[in-house]
A and B are shown apart, each in its own frame.
Chain A
Amino acid sequence: MADVSLKKVGKTYENASANTIEDLSLDIRSGEFVVLVGPSGCGKSTTLRMLAGLEELSEGEIWIANRRVDELEPRDRNIAMVFQNYALYPHMTVAQNMSFGLRLAGMDKAEIRRRVEEAAKLLDIAPLLDRRPKQLSGGQRQRVAMGRAMVRDPAVFLFDEPLSNLDAKLRGQMRAEIRRLHKRLKATTVYVTHDQVEAMTLADRVVVLNKGKIEQQGTPQELYERPATRFVAGFIGSPTMNFLPAKVVTESTRPALRIGEATIPVPAHKAETVLQRVGQDIEIGLRPEHFLVDGPADLSATIDMAELLGPTTLVHFTLAGMTCSAMLPPELAAPEGEVQSLRIAFDRMSIFDPKTGHAL
């Protein structure tokens, strides 16, 4: 286990018009599971590769276990990495794949065998040790890739979108497996994904990257409930957050928001902030579960489409010219074409400055 620290790290490619990574600083505590998440091209994989030593830094420093490592070769950083396409050596057996690094390090044969067998047992791949990668399923290859990382007993585990090539069911299983392994090994882990569900379910801390910069970092719950920007609000959560244009008005000296035809009150904890913007346009963010069907209705909308998801029904409707979705109990959701009365959980809504995208 080891602390990891990225200090003002930057990366510029020769032919790129802008910096891929800019002034990125991040401290990861020993044993922490940090997920870097963001859309394609946001720089998350580049950050991980710089941490691994597979990419050079254009500026900044990387420290692992209180040792500056950005000038060191990958082998000298005491890290292990699991790749998106597993990167298992096709011409070697599972056992040879797992032990390659240890053999290069000149480790004693008996110790190598002990480590490989222990990891194989833990990952449930002991019967596969003599097979070659092409004889394995996607899930088995994933386990072998994890085993190869584990046997090295590294200070830091790096995962680069390791579940992207698996089907949905297997992805769910492997997610749980990775979480379980982390709890058991308690190793510092940096995990890159573009899948926000993976980020939410695995991470102790999620770091959202956008255009090479950290947009927000925090626990999954913090990011979900209190997104710092419209980008984070839209990226985290599935189905995605609904964004509605609104105008700040006053009603009996109290601030309120006009959304289309409806006027809704502002939650008490946001009143002071909003009061300074009377007459201005803002944007509110409501998650699908922030629309409720119990209690007095705040607005009503005609349902354009209803999708039964099992325990809930996702209904789609148009509000203030925007397509919205709400997660409702199936028995209370109106069918398509009918009007649904909705109450809004105002106290949970987010408010954004439409110009800067920052939360108010």
Chain B
Amino acid sequence: MKKHHMRRAFFVTLVIALILCCFLAPYAWIVASSFKNQLTLFNDVTPLSWKAFLPVGGTIENYQSLFKRTNVLTALANTAIVAGGQVALTLLLCSMAAYSLTRVSFPGAKIVFVLILLTFLLPIEALMVPLYQVVSGLGLSNTLLGVMIPWVASPFGLFLLKQAFEELPVELEDAARIDGAGHVRIFFSIVLPNVKVPMLTLGLITFLFSWNSFLWPLVIVQDPANQVIQVAIAQQGSPTQLPNWGETFAGATVATLPLILLFLLLQKYFTQGMTTSGIKG
């Protein structure tokens, strides 16, 4: 029996390790390639060898030229501002909307909620042109606010938080009313502190979405001074020359590092939020 269990555990571990390798391999390749010159990089993948995944013959030239030649630092700062702002605005807006839809009864509340959820079904690409027209119309094209503003009203965030609010006993709010708190005080002092995990989860997902967004910033921002990191990496080469892949990978590594650090710090809340909200990926 014990032997059987050990064999099963070994098999499971092996499968997990294989899946992990599948997920890690592209990242390992990107990081390793960021330390190679163009020639070594191509030699290691034609034919594909184990060297492709290790920084063999490492050089930091790619990083040196990336920071010297491109506006990657400005783009990083822009991305941090956009992602941070988007997180703050999304949390504020979604939590207030979800709370109203959960606790305030008004005619058509269910229809409003279903309509909001239906926007899930629209692919981002289909929204680009109308969004561009609206954001340009508001005079926000080429601005960081224009990059973040269309996404702060997140149907996913509303759904996630509505579920969290529904699980919160309404008696907490009743008790607070008797204690003398008004709606705003109840919302900020009683309700929000008790949905910390879903809020952190939404914050993290929004940050990831914002940090990795490419298409919308490419459409709405033309000024390099206001460009975000993903677009800056893609545009770092000259249109008339072959891309410098080592530099591109260095940029990708730099762009990924903050996300990895953030995820390592908050992964507990991320998994908790996903499992308690019933949204399992």
A binds B: yes
Which of B84-92, B166-174, B204-212 interfaces with chain A? B166-174
* Chain B CB within 10 Å, residue with most, of A73, A84, A100, A152: A100
Instruction: Tell me if B175 counts as interface (CB < 8 A to partner A).
Output: yes
Say which size band chain A's interface belongs to: 20 to 34
* A104 contact from B172, B180, B193, B196, Cβ within 8 A: B180
Q: How far is the CB of B1 from chain A (nearest CB, A)?
A: 39
B110 proximal to A (CB < 8 A): no
B177 touches A104 (CB 8 A): no
Q: How far is the CA of A73 from the CA of B185 in the complex (A)?
A: 15
Q: Which of A84-105 contact B (CB under 8 A)?
A: 84-85, 87-91, 100-101, 104-105
Q: Once the chains are docked, how many angstroms separate the CA of A84 from the CA of B193?
A: 22
Residues of chain A within 8 A (CB-CB) of B196 are: 91
Which has the most chain B C-beta neighbours within 10 Å: A53, A74, A79?
A74
**B125 contacts the other chain (Cβ, under 8 Å)?**
no
- B169 near A87 (CB under 8 angstroms)? yes
Indicate if A54 sits at the interface (CB-CB under 8 A): yes
Residues of A within 8 A of B223 (CB): none
A285 to B190, CA, bound (A): 51
Q: Which of A54, A85, A104 is within 8 Å of B179, CB to CB?
A: A104
Contacts of A79 in B (CB 8 A): 178
Interface residues of B in 94-116 (CB under 8 A from A): none
Is B194 within 8 A of A75, CB to CB?
A: no
**A346 on the B face (CB < 8 A):** no
Whether A74 and B178, one on each chain, are in contact in the complex, defined by CB atoms closer than 8 angstroms, is yes
Would you call A89 and B172 a contact (CB within 8 A)? yes
A80 at the interface (CB under 8 A from B): yes
Of B169, B180, B193, B194, which contacts A85 at CB under 8 A? B169
> Can you list, as one digit per residue, whether each of A49-93 has a CB less than 8 Å from chain B (1) or not (0)?
100111000000000000000000111000111011101111100
**Binary CB contact string for chain B from 173 to 216 against chain A (1 if under 8 A, 0 otherwise):** 01111111100010000100110100000000000000000000
Cα distance A80–B196 when bound, in Å? 28
Chain A facing B: main interface SS:
loop
**Contact pick for B177, options A75, A89, A91, CB 8 Å:** A75
Which residue of chain B has its CB nearest to the CB of A106? B180
Give 1 or 0 for each of A137-179: 1 = CB within 8 Å of chain B CB: 0000000000010001000000000000000000000000000
Contacting pair B178 A101 (CB below 8 A):
yes
Tell me which residues from 228 to 278 in chain B have a Cβ below 8 Å from any Cβ of chain A: none
Which residues of chain A come closer than 8 Å to B175, judged between CB atoms? 81, 83, 87-89, 148
Bitwise interface map of B from 145 to 176 toward A, beta carbon under 8 Å scored 1, else 0: 00000000000000000000000010110111
Give the distance in Å from the alpha carbon of A344 to the alpha carbon of B22 in the complex.
85
CA distance A91 to B194 in the complex (A): 7
In the docked arrangement, what's the CA distance between A139 and B176, Å?
Answer: 21
A91 CB to nearest chain B CB (Å): 4
**A101:B194 contact, CB within 8 angstroms:** no
Partner of B171, one of A83, A101, A105, A148: A83
B258 → A minimal CB distance (Å): 29
Which A residues are in CB contact (< 8 Å) with B176?
89, 100
Which residues of chain B are within 8 angstroms of A84 by Cβ–Cβ distance?
171
Is B174 a contact of A89 with CB atoms below 8 Å?
Answer: no
Report if A74-B177 is in contact (Cβ < 8 Å); known contacts: A89-B190, A90-B194. Answer: yes
Q: How far is the CA of A152 from the CA of B181 in the complex (A)?
A: 14
Q: Are B177 and A54 in contact (CB under 8 A)?
A: yes
Bound state CA distance, A114 and B182, in angstroms?
Answer: 26
In the complex the two chains form, what is the Cα distance from A81 to B178 in whole Å? 7
Residue among B171, B181, B185, B193 facing the most chain A CB atoms (10 A cut-off): B171
Docked-complex contact A101 and B179, CB < 8 angstroms = yes
Inter-chain contact A87/B172, CB cutoff 8 Å: yes
Q: Would B174 and A100 count as touching, CB distance under 8 A?
A: no
B180 touches A87 (CB 8 A): no
Q: Which residue of A lies closest to B169 (CB)?
A: A85
Of listed B171, B172, B175, residue having the most chain A CB within 10 A? B175
* Listed residue (B179, B193, B196) with the most chain A CB atoms within 10 angstroms of its CB: B179
A80, B181: Cβ atoms closer than 8 Å: no
B171, A73: Cβ atoms under 8 Å? no
Residues in chain B near residue A52, CB distance under 8 A: 174, 178
Task: State A359–B210 Cα separation when bound (angstroms).
Answer: 74
Contact check, B174 vs A83: say whether CB atoms are below 8 A apart.
yes
Please name 11 further chain A to chain B contacts, defined as beta carbons within 8 Å, in addition to the given A81-B178, A89-B176, A91-B196, sorted by A numbering. Answer: A49-B174, A52-B174, A54-B174, A54-B177, A73-B177, A85-B171, A87-B171, A87-B172, A89-B175, A100-B179, A101-B180
B residues with CB within 8 A of A: 169, 171-172, 174-181, 185, 190, 193-194, 196
- Selected A-B contacts with CB under 8 Å, 28 pairs: A52-B178, A53-B178, A74-B177, A74-B180, A79-B178, A80-B178, A81-B178, A83-B171, A84-B171, A85-B169, A85-B171, A87-B171, A87-B174, A87-B175, A88-B175, A89-B194, A90-B172, A91-B194, A91-B196, A100-B179, A101-B178, A101-B179, A101-B180, A104-B179, A104-B180, A104-B185, A148-B175, A148-B179
A interface, CB within 8 angstroms of B: 49, 52-54, 73-75, 79-81, 83-85, 87-91, 100-101, 104-105, 148, 152
The 6 closest A-B CB pairs, nearest first, are: A101-B179, A75-B180, A87-B171, A87-B175, A91-B193, A104-B180
